Structure 1
Amino acid sequence: MSSLLLRRPRVPGSRLARPLAALLLCGTALAMLPVPTPAMAQAESPASYRFDMPSQPLANAISRVGTISGWRIAYSVALPAGAVSAPLAGTMTPEEALARLTAGSGLVVRASGPRSLVLEPRPADGAVRLEDGSELLETISVNSTASPVDLPFETAGSSSHISQEQIERLPPQSAGDIFIGTPGVISSMNRNGAAMDVNIRGLQGQNRVKVTVDGTVQASSTWRGYQGVDDRVYVDPDLIGGVDISKGPDSGAEGAGVIGGVVGIRTLNVGDIVEEGKEYGVRIRASDADNGIAPPPRFTTERRAGGPGLEDFENWSGSIAAGVRQENFDIVAAFAKRNSGNYFSGTNGETQYTLLNSQGRPVTGDLSPYLPGTEVFNTSENMGSGLIKATLRPAEDHSLELGYMRYDNDYGEVSPSVVRPNSTSTRQIGLSSTIVDTYTARYHWVPADNALIDFRANIWATHIDEVTWYAFPGVILPEWGIYPHETQRPSTTTTYGGEVSNVSRFETRLGAAKVDYGASYSWEDADGSLYYGDAGSLLQQSLTGTRGVGGIYANAELIATEWLTLNGGLRYDFYSTHDGSDPELIPDNWDVEFKDKSGGRLSPTASVIVSPWEGLQFYALYAEGMRPPSLRESAYSESFLFPNPDLEPEIARNWELGLNVLRSDLLVGGDKLRMKVSYFNNNYEDYISRVDHTEQTIAYYTTRNIDKAVFSGVEVSGGYDAGFIFTEFSLNYYTNVEFCDLGEPCVNDGLNGDYGMNHIPPELTATLTLGLRAFEDRLVLGARLNHVGARAVPLSASNLSFTAPWVPYTVFDLFGSYKVSPNLMLNASVENVGDLYYIDALANTAMPSPGRTVRLGLTGTF
């Protein structure tokens, strides 16, 4: 709990009716809404919400009302000792819900501002009269937070939330499938290996985007040959409780050294397993799917056609999770197992690409050596993952969460140079393996009687052991003992980190204020191993070195009036890198200079939110950030990349205009409309690019800063839920993508040999989900349509060695569930209903995606 001082508001005056006229581009979206005048806005009735809550401690029930509605709820006196609420069911306003819960308790409900309520004793509460006629209450306890689903639609800037329910509707075939439908976010190399490599608005890799799992960072970077490198994050979707995404520089504790955005993955908590009002809970889940077959032996070249059915159990997953909730502690433990074989590609769709050569003439070729309807080698997975979390509450207002998670996976993965457009041969190679150990300790202190303290302190560590295979194309003649060269590349990375932060809330003469401030630091230690590469003749070393990144930040929010909120912040980020590679391994003619690098920068953020009436916000945002060079860019490694320790950090200067809509009771009682429309213009100065290195014969490339890269476009996301019917929608369209080299004009094209060409997203992506609920919500049926357009910057035929092409595609999925009993749920889905043959956007190799897949699931809760 936290606390603050509240004033009884004065009688509101006229509100701003037409702020930010520059946002007329959003008028089409606004046409969906009633357009009240300021007077009408004051007369609107509060929104209603559906509540279905069992009897429980009164404090828990009050908090639950706030969570469901997203309203702020506070009270200024202690609740009656041992008070238990009556069950609450039905559609009503938050004020009505609280009135029912507190009936007979001597408390009354009062509105304290937009979407804010106060519980207080009946008159004679001892409030202090102020000179302006308002009353200053005693310090009160805040017991609710905005729903994570609603929060992106009340935030200045682009953010998204992926709920556990959305992940479970269409269980992901690959871990990165969880981002389908999130505008501006794509998981690269989604079908090649088991990791996620997240692209946000064209930025990807080299620590530009931070992906955290319970606040921890898996700083793993792997060389992929001509296709560059990838940043890898491993987590099983069955253990995910929700995902929160912020796009662009992040001004909070997790934003140090990040310019692309932050993806925060939360694993299961006790609240995901134990129902409200209960002390124990268990969830058991199992699923089986067709379109999977056990991988064949290494060096197999003959691809199988057809594919097994559900009865073959070659594509299954299962998990068990249990939780305990007590007054002074919570415990949750879970284990997940996933065994999926090589999948089969679709049978319908384009199999060829058309690109322009250097003379501007069209060139046509095969997208992939894999034919429609055939087995796709190196797509299997055999994973086990477990977690345990214990939350201790040793004293009132204090909590300490301790956690451990282990991820262990043997999976198929192929070197991009083996599966390329226009090639004809493929083969099964050895399975890669990854083990990730994660340790967390998270402390939270929020005294009920002090609004200036909402303190958090976290420490964490991750340890990654990876063995990836790098395979070379070649002839296979078993009778002569001739096989192409394949080599294992072991690497170990350990990352340590911690954050401290505090939020202070207080009243000023200008309005309610909040200050969020803190510091963070992380230390990446990559310990590369020696191995023989290049057909076994060249001794090489995986990435070795250390990199530290930290930051100090402060952000302030002022709610100046009911319709105006101002935000501003500063953060100072700093870094250091050290190349720990063995100089004896570097060729004599490289003339490499080993030296440490460090630096820092102060970056501001500012935003304004204007709310002409409840449920509608206009916002403007400006944010800067710094991304220090990664170890891969500045240190020596096996990637034949000439190291450049003199690289300067990338600097982001982003601005965004948008609107948020969060309205209820539009068409039927209890319905809700969520929508966000934004225009973004992201400029990245001193963008680091891979370029040709003509002075060396072995180190084909090096890295250097170019003038800048620019990504701008429009995003739309949201949904409408009326209970019996619901829809979710998203759209992302890039209006401009360009790269500007030093002394050269900007071009809508990637630089020759640059990693960045692999990161340029589709010009247009759009997703639409439609669903209905029936039989008191026991039955849910729905469909999802996902369209992906062409690359925002056309790929030229000369870049096929570095970048995998794709053609636009539209995939249609079906999903459904039926609650047989309060404890048993049946799930079914059909993914890629049209059995489309296609290659995922941002794939790093020419591997087609899975064809039609039928999946059945069963979930039991006890």
Structure 2
Amino acid sequence: MTIRSMRGTTALVCLSLATPLAAQDDTTLTLDDEAFLGTIVLTPGRRDLSFGSPVSRTVIDEEEIADRQAGTVGQLVDSVPSVQLINGTSPQGSGVQIRGFGANTTFGSDQKIAIQIDGASVGSEEIYRVGTQLFTDPQLYREVEVLRGTIGSFAYGAGIVGGVIRLETKDPEDFTNGQPGVAGRQVLELSDNGEGLTSSTTLAWQATDRIGLLANYTHRTQDELEDGDGDTIPNSDFDAPSLLLKATGVLGDDFEHEVALSYTQTTTDENDVPYDQFAGLPFGNVDRTTETRQVALDYRYDPVSDLVDLRATLSYADQEITSAPVAGFNPLLDADQRYETTKLTISNRAALATGPLAHDLLIGAERLRKERADATSAPGGRDDRYALFLVDEMSFGGFSVTPALRYENSTIRSATGLGTFDDAALMGGLALGYDFGNGFAVFASAAQTAGLPIIDDLGDPTRINTAEQGRTYELGAEYAADGAILTGDRLAIRGNLYTTELSDITSYTVPGSTTQTLDRVEINGLELEASYGLANGVYTDLAFAMASGRETDPGGASREWRNLPADRLQVTLGRRFGEGEQYDLGWEVVHTADRRDSNGAELPDETIHNLRGTWRPEGGRLAGTEFRLGVENLFDEFYVGHLASPSRPAPGRTVKLTASVAF
């Protein structure tokens, strides 16, 4: 394998709109590759690192999804630097935070991160004391991509300062290898803590070399968990069936037309549980049913032309939460929520030259309509938006200069006579990079975004007429090489500094007030990812993040930012060995410092040990099977997760056994 650090740009990361990377071979991608996203450096650890771009980007592929044995998407992505899971014992109550934004102790979202499933926008409603609404199962997905910061977000939305989480569902070709016939996989997972049981069945039919069909049914169930002291974690049980249906097709003499249609659905059903999914505060108990559905139709036209690579994605997301109080009447508890989001995104990528400059140009347009039913706890209405975006990577020699722009217009109409409100904003950024040609590269970026008002702001004349402003600056470097220290070894390391500042704030109020908003929020942070491996199969992965931040009142009073992420260091030491590297054993240590609970009380530092092992038999009757054994919280430590409720401690020692067979 040749490892090269190349010029990269926001454009290439925004081109995640293009066909996602398939299972990656042991190669380095170049500009001629069909779905270029910047150089992908294949590292010897559990996670591949993306190089050649100023965007902080981490990809969790299908193999790592299986190895981590996560029960929720939140538990999967919280291993990424600056990503943290809040109240993560169940899909309903957990929230995802990136660089201190996203979920908080009151709402599951603050509109500063975006979550997409096959391009469908999900999990963005500010429902009081309810999680992110990202109710879905990791078994449905082949890849999860996490973009951190603003510079890579302009193709996905406005007001994003935390980042973007993009989930891509499994393809029929992942199982059939594009060969006509039927294939599939059966996965069975057992967990001793909470007596968890998961069954995931996938069937794929490659009707022809151009048409593929896939169906997956996953049923995940769990009783109440125990913490490190052996006590029951209340309301940590759940039952969540999930469904994925997908069809893919390729048309044209030169395979220039690609079509994919996917449908995902997850349902959870709870009886006599606290309305408050975060801390279990005594609002009362409810019977609650949550159902989330997403449909995405994706079309790509990629003829033999440098000027045309057209992509159109039409998506629909429907999330419905139905709750009823167990005893008596309470308008907060008897609050059915439903919100539907329809979105059409069209983009084209062109490669061209103007004199000495080579351009990789992405131009796109987006039309979105969000409809939200009126509820006693949240206003209803309709949010119509359209947006235009442009990202142009200009490269010459070892330099790259990439401007990025997004214009977005919003019209919000109240369902209850609160009026109609219009707003618009132009936002953008600039990324710079230089490749020294010896494996070392540097990059920098500056970006400004605007968070336009949302349906939740109806009824507040200040918030509905104010667009939040966010500015982010980043500076970083990367190095990748073979034989960096010893013959036959591989090293890849990337680090970046960032600072983010919010003004014209509408999302956060002054402590003790329900109306007065903060004047300013500022966060400064450092992120580091690295991987190193030897020719004998020994490898180590490292992920590190630390941050500091302040929030300031209009009167000038200042304090530590209430949603500041904890400092976190995660180190994995492992080895692959045996014929065909059929064995993979790893020891993961996670140390978290500067922690506090949801009430702001300081918590002690924590160090958690996890063990993971994978066996893939080579040949014989067990060919096509995989066995995984994981031990989480090996020493059964009692601790409360960062920004979690003191009443929701983390699970104690948990042993998971997974068996899968391909057929």
| Coarse TM-score class (shorter-chain normalised) | 0.7 to 0.9
What is the TM-score normalised by the length of structure 2? 0.86
Per-residue deviation, 1:285:
0.4
1:58 maps to which residue? Answer: none
What is the match of residue 729 of structure 1? 542
Q: Which residue of 2 aligns with 1:740?
A: 552
Partner of 1:501: 347
SS at match of 1:207: coil
Give how far 1:443 is off.
0.5
Does 2:106 correspond to 1:288?
no
1:169 equivalent in alignment to 2:67: yes
**Superposition deviation, residue 653 in structure 1:** 1.2
Q: How far apart in 2 are the matches of 1:845 and 1:213?
A: 32
Which whole-Å CA distance do the structure 2 matches of 1:471 and 1:486 have between them? 12
2:638–2:650 Cα contact (<8 Å) kept: yes
Mapping of residues 221-620 of structure 1, within 5 Å: 221=125, 223-224=127-128, 230-249=131-150, 250-275=152-177, 280-292=182-194, 314-325=195-206, 326-347=208-229, 373-395=230-252, 396-411=255-270, 414-416=274-276, 419=279, 429-430=285-286, 432-448=288-304, 450-468=305-323, 487-529=333-375, 540-561=376-397, 563-581=398-416, 594-620=418-444
Q: Deviations over 1:235-272 (max 9, x none)?
A: 10111211111122244421334332111111212243
Unaligned runs of 5+ in 2: 5-20, 43-47, 103-108
Give how far 1:843 is off.
Answer: 1.9
2:503 matched residue in structure 1: 685
**Counterpart in the other structure of 1:840:** 641
Determine the structure 1 residue equivalent to 2:9: none
Bigger Cα displacement from structure 2, 252-261 vs 713-722? 252-261
SS in 2 for 1:493: strand
Task: Select 1:790's aligned residue among 586, 594, 600.
Answer: 594
8 Å CA contact 2:275–2:283 kept in 1: the answer is no
Inter-partner Cα distance in structure 2 for 1:508 and 1:223: 49
Of 749, 757, 768, the residue aligned with 2:560 is 749
Q: 1:606 to 1:339 in 2, by over 3 A?
A: same
User: What per-residue deviation string (whole Å, max 9, x for no partner) do you get for residues 185-240 of structure 1?
Assistant: 11323225436532111111232110111111124535445xxx653212101112
Amino-acid identity (%): 20
Paired amino acid for 1:402? L
Match of 2:474 among 656, 672, 678: 656
3-state SS of 1:346 partner = coil
Task: Pick closer, same or farther for the CA change 1:379–1:822 going to 2, 3 Å.
Answer: same
Query: In the alignment, which residue of structure 1 is the partner of 2:574?
Result: 771
Please state how far the C-alpha of 1:780 moved relative to its aligned partner. 1.2
User: Structure 1's 643 and 155: CA in aligned 2 closer, same or farther, altered over 3 A?
Assistant: same
Alpha-carbon separation, structure 2, partners of 1:544 and 1:440: 25
| Residue 817 (str. 1) matches residue 614 (str. 2) | yes
* Per-residue deviation, residues 633-662 of structure 1 (Å, max 9, x unmatched): x125xxxxx674544111111110001223
Per-residue CA deviations over 1:814-848 (Å, capped at 9, x if unaligned) read 11111233311111111111111111113256211
How far does residue 703 in structure 1 lie from its aligned partner after superposition? 5.6
The Cα shift of 1:483 comes to 13
Q: CA deviation at 1:173?
A: 3.9
Q: Relative to 1, partners in 2 of residues 1:674 and 1:410: Cα closer, same or farther, differing over 3 Å? A: farther
In 2, the alpha carbon distance for the partners of 1:392 and 1:828 equals 37
Kept in 2: contact 1:345–1:848 (CA 8 A): yes
C-alpha deviation, 1:405, in angstroms: 1.3
CA distance in 2, matches of 1:382, 1:409: 6
Instruction: Return the alpha-carbon distance in structure 1 between the equivalents of residues 368 and 115 of structure 2.
Output: 13
Residue deviations 1:258-301, cap 9 Å, x none?
33211111121224323476754211100111111xxxxxxxxx
Larger radius of gyration: 1
Counterpart secondary structure, 1:489:
coil
Structure 1 segment 99-118 matched on structure 2, within 5 A: none
Pairwise CA distance, 1:855? 1.1
* Contact 2:110 2:507 (C-alpha < 8 Å) held by counterparts: no
- Helix, strand or coil: the match of 1:72? coil
* C-alpha contact 1:192 1:845 (8 A) present in aligned 2: no
Measured after TM superposition, the shift of residue 174 of structure 1 is: 4.1
- Does the 8 A contact of 2:40 with 2:50 survive in 1? no
Q: What do residues 435-477 of structure 1 show as CA deviations (whole Å, max 9, x unaligned)? A: 11211110000102x10001001111011111246799xxxxx
Q: What is the identity, as a one-letter code, of the residue corresponding to 2:29?
A: W
Q: Which residue of 2 aligns with 1:623?
A: 447
Q: 1:469 to 1:178 in 2, by over 3 A?
A: farther
State the number of aligned residues. 624
Q: Name the CA distance, whole Å, in 1 between partners of 2:378 and 2:218.
A: 31
**Which secondary structure does the structure 1 equivalent of 2:74 belong to?**
helix
- How far apart, CA to CA, are the structure 1 residues paired with 2:355 and 2:331? 73
Q: Is the 8 A contact 1:255 1:262 kept in 2?
A: no
- Counterparts of 1:179 and 1:547 in 2: how far apart (Å)? 29
User: Counterpart of 2:99 in structure 1: which amino acid?
Assistant: R
**Matching residue of 1:22:** none
Shift of residue 683, structure 1, vs aligned partner: 1.1
Shift of 1:328: 1.9
Native 8 Å contact 1:643 1:702 kept in 2: no
CA shift for structure 1 position 346: 0.7
CA contact (8 A) 1:405 1:438 kept: yes
Question: Is residue 702 from structure 1 mapped to residue 524 from structure 2 by the alignment?
Answer: no
Do residues 206 (structure 1) and 105 (structure 2) align? no
- 8 Å Cα contact 2:301/2:311 also seen in 1: yes
| CA-to-aligned-CA distance 1:613-634 (integer Å, 9 cap, x gap) | 23221001111111113322x1
Q: Quick one: structure 1 residues 595 and 198, their matched pair in 2 at CA, closer, same or farther if it must change by over 3 Å?
A: same
1:631–1:283 Cα change, 3 Å: same
Deviations 1:786-835 (A, max 9, x none): 122124xx78xxx83xx676443221111111123331111111111111
Alignment partners' CA distance in 2, 1:662 and 1:440: 37
Q: Distance in 2 between matches of 1:856 and 1:671?
A: 32
Q: Look up the SS of the partner of 2:50 in the other structure.
A: helix
Deviations, residues 311-351 of structure 1 (Å, cap 9, x unaligned): xxx3100101122343221222211110111111112xxxx
TM-score, length of structure 1 as denominator length: 0.67
Q: CA deviation at 1:669?
A: 6.3
Amino acid corresponding to residue 789 of structure 1 in structure 2: A
Match status 1:68 vs 2:15: no
CA distance in 1, matches of 2:317, 2:120: 7
The unaligned stretches of length 5 or more in structure 1 are: 1-44, 49-62, 75-140, 293-313, 348-372, 473-481, 530-539, 584-593, 637-641, 695-699, 751-756
* Counterparts in 2 of 1:483 and 1:840: CA distance versus 1, 3 Å: farther
